[in-house]
Structure formats: structure tokens, C-alpha cells
Amino acid sequence: MNRPLGITVSRHILDSQHIHPKATGDLSSLLIELIVAAKTISAEVNKAGLSDVLGMSGKTNIQGEDVQKLDDIANNIIKRRMARCGHLCVMTSEEEADVIPVAEGHEGKYSLAFDPLDGSSNIDVNVSIGTIFSVHRRITSGGQGDENDLLIKGSEQVAAGYIIYGSSTMMVFSTGEGVHGFTLDPSVGEFYLSHPDIRMPKKSRYFSVNEGYTRYWSENVRRYLDYLKEEDKATGRPYSGRYIGSLVADFHRNLINGGIFLYPRDTKNPAKPVGKLRLLYEASPLAFLAERAGGRAITDDGLNILEIQPEGLHQRVPLIIGSSYDVGIAEEFLAGER
Ligand code: P6P
């Protein structure tokens, strides 16, 4: 009896191309190159405990955060490979203060924003970490791109997704129609379709937030969390708390099981006045996935993440993302309507 023929991620991308009659294959080729970078990073992450890549690199990034060696490695893997893929005009990375040019003569019609290894503070304790990416169509005319090709609303992304390096390595992404998950078979080196058309449960019983910052939150945010902890069997409360401290891992759990993740603005913490997460390569790509899987993503002012006009490469935004029912209730508390 032959094993069922697994659909590889490359096959899925090429098959999906037929959905877009005007597709030229450039986006497919871009994504397939990004997948090679993801497999390379996965190999590095999975042997992190064995080779000398754990610990700090001695450098700090634009966010003022200590750069872990694996951060550096992942950043360079993506930069070097994607600069020559022939389909990008410019890139931006959490690890780089300024835009990243592509190789001369290899300019293309898309731009790429990425967080090469999100959750990297968890690397040394073997907690799931991830790569997050966002692809836009360029708006400048030709040659090397610039910030304008990156500072575009999330609703206009042509593709977005993440790779999570956990108990298995999974790639989850969308090119606009549905959200699909692929699991890496390390013995073959291929990602196979394992989670077709992922739908985020409309309602959940899990909240995901760092309660160590409760004192910094607005009164409305605090009231919402208190509401989730009250007992009410009709609405499935109290909810359970689940917080890994690795955005990709927290988001992935909520995407599959349902849940609401919050990183609100710190009203009294001048170091993080609008929260910690970055719009271009964290909030926006995950909001793109959440909405296409039936979820929602807003700021604590009730703004739709995907409708925010970015003003800076490393702009931070408060983020409330997850199951549509739960984000709706949070929205009412945040607006003072509850
Ligand atoms: P805190 C990891 O550093 C990260 O950027 C996200 O992956 C994660 O959601 C967040 O920070 C955790 O931040 O302040 O709770 O440690």
C-alpha cells in the first residue's frame, strides 16, 4: 500500500498560482527561495545546543536588545539568499537599523520585511522561536527600492507568514486565499501540507498576556482581564492563562486552538509607550494571517492593525489579536462600552 502522496509546500505554491490568472510566478519563486532560507535556519536552530551558537553575539540591535548569535545567523541567511532571489527591490529586518538593499541587477517587484528569529530570548532554554515575514508589491518604479516600498498598509500585503521552530518545524502562510500549514520532514528536507485551510476558532478559553505589566496597563485593559477571570459558565469563564513569551509560539497556539493575545501599550512605562511589538514584521503579518483564518487584530485604541499607515520601519504598536468573538469583547472594554 503506497503512502498518501504528501503535497510539498512548493507544489502547493505552484498549484495556488493558478488561482491568480495574472500570476507570473515571481511571488512563487520568491516564496520558494524563502523556504530554502527557513530550512537552513531550522538546521541551525535544531543543533543550537550542540554547536557554539548559543548565547550573546556581543552586539545590540536597533531596538537596543542584546543580539543572540542565532539572531545574527538567521538574519544573514535570509539577507544573503533573498538579496539575490531576483524578485525583491528592498528589505527590512528587525536586526538592521536601515533598509537592506538587494544585489545589483537582481531587483524585482516585491519588498520583504522580516523578523529573522522572534522570541530569541528563549533560544537558550529551548522554547519555540520563529521567523516572521511580510511581502508587499513595490510602489517605486525600478532599480533599488526604498522605505516607500515597505511603509505600506498591512491590508495590501501579497503574502505573509511565519516559520515556527518547535517540537517540529512548521511553516504557516497565506497569499490571500486561506491560511495553510506545512510541517518539515527533516529526513527528507521537505515541508508537507499538514494543516490545510486553518480556521481560528471564533471563541476561545485562553488569554495570553504578560501580567507582570498589569500596573502599566490602562484601566480598561485591566477591567477586561478581570472580566476574563470571573466565573461565568455561560461564557466559559474563567479563561486560562497561556503565555510563552515568544510571539510566534503564542500566536500559533491561538491560531490552532483559539485564544486572545494582548501586548497593550504601557501607559506609565516611558520605555514602551506603545507596547513592544513592531508593526511591519510582527503585528502586520500576523494580523494578515489572523483575518484570513477568521480572527481579528486591533490596537488598544480599536484600530484595525491592517489599516494602520506605517510611518517607520521599526514602529511599534499595541497588539490585540486572536479569536474574533474575544477580540470583539476586548474591543468593547477598550472603548469603555463595558
Ligand atoms: P515580554 C520576544 O522578545 C518578543 O519580541 C515576542 O516574541 C514576545 O511576544 C514578546 O517579546 C515578549 O515580551 O515583555 O512579555 O517579555
The mean pLDDT of the chain is 93
Q: In DSSP terms, which residues pair with 284 in a beta bridge? A: none
| CA–CA dist 188, 171 (Å, integer) | 16
Ligand 1 neighbourhood includes 246 CB (under 6 angstroms): yes
The strand pair at 260-263 and 240-241 is best described as unpaired
DSSP state letter for 261? E
Ligand 1 neighbourhood includes 154 CB (under 6 angstroms): no
The CA 247 to ligand 1 mean position distance, Å, reads: 6
pLDDT tens digits, one per residue of 143-181:
999 999 999 999 999 999 999 999 999 999 999 989 999
Band (65; pLDDT cuts 50, 70, 90): confident
pLDDT of residue 35: 97
Question: In the chain, what percentage of residues exceed pLDDT 70?
Answer: 96
Question: Where in the sequence of the chain do the CATH 3.40.190.80 domains occur?
Answer: 206-334
State the amino acid at position 325 in one-letter form: Y
| CA–CA dist 175, 156 (Å, integer) | 11
Ligand 1 neighbourhood includes 121 CB (under 6 angstroms): yes
Alpha carbon of 330 to those of 38, 217, 261, 265, 298: distances in Å?
A: 35, 14, 11, 14, 10
The strand pair at 206-208 and 129-137 is best described as unpaired
pLDDT tens digits, one per residue of 98-138:
999 999 999 999 999 999 999 988 888 889 999 999 999 99
**Whether pLDDT at 2 is above 90:** no
pLDDT tens digits, one per residue of 212-250:
999 999 999 999 999 999 999 999 999 999 999 999 999
State the amino acid at position 129 in one-letter form: I
The CA 168 to ligand 1 mean position distance, Å, reads: 21
Band (16; pLDDT cuts 50, 70, 90): confident
**Chain centroid to CA 312:** 18
Ligand 1 neighbourhood includes 210 CB (under 6 angstroms): yes
CATH of the domain spanning 9-195: 3.30.540.10
**Whether pLDDT at 20 is above 80:** no
Ligand 1 neighbourhood includes 247 CB (under 6 angstroms): yes
Q: In DSSP terms, which residues pair with 316 in a beta bridge? A: 278
**Whether pLDDT at 51 is above 80:** no
Question: Where in the sequence of the chain do the CATH 3.30.540.10 domains occur?
Answer: 9-195
Fold annotation for 206-334: D-Maltodextrin-Binding Protein; domain 2 (3.40.190)
115 closest CA partner among 74, 152, 68, 173: 74
| CA–CA dist 264, 247 (Å, integer) | 14
What's the whole-number mean pLDDT along residues 274-288?
A: 96
